Amino acid sequence: MLVLMPVPSDPKARWRVRIAFLCLFVVFVALSFGAWYLADLGRLLERNAARESQVALQGITEPAQIDAALRQHPSDKFLQLVAMAGRAATDTNAAADKLSGEVEQPPIPAGINLAALNRPDLETLRRDLKTAEANASAFMPRYTALLKTERDAIEKYALSLHAGEETLTRLLDIVDKRHAERSALFSNMMAARAEFYRAYESLVAVIAGEAGAYKVVDGQFVFQFQRTVDRYNIANHATAVAAKRVGELAEERKTLDKAQQAAWLQFVTGK
* pLDDT for 31 beyond 90: no
Determine phi and psi for 216, rounding to 5 degrees. Answer: -120, 115
Position 233 scores a pLDDT of 97
d(CA 204, CA 232): 9
Number of neighbouring beta carbons within 10 Å of residue 156? 9
d(CA 22, CA 15): 10
Position 94 scores a pLDDT of 97
Name the packing angle between helices 77-101 and 64-72 (round to 10°): 150
Q: What's the CATH code, domain 64-269?
A: 1.20.120
pTM of the model: 0.77
pLDDT digits (tens, 9 = 90+) for 124-134: 999 999 999 99
* pLDDT for 50 beyond 80: no
Position 93 scores a pLDDT of 96
Contact by Cβ (8 Å): 146, 95: yes
pLDDT digits (tens, 9 = 90+) for 154-183: 999 999 999 888 889 999 999 999 999 999
Q: How many residues would you count in the chain?
A: 271
Sequence-distant (6+) residues with CB within 8 A of 83 are: 66, 67, 70
Position 163 scores a pLDDT of 86
First to last CA, the chain: 63
Q: Decide: helix, strand or coil at residue 90.
A: helix
* pLDDT for 47 beyond 70: no
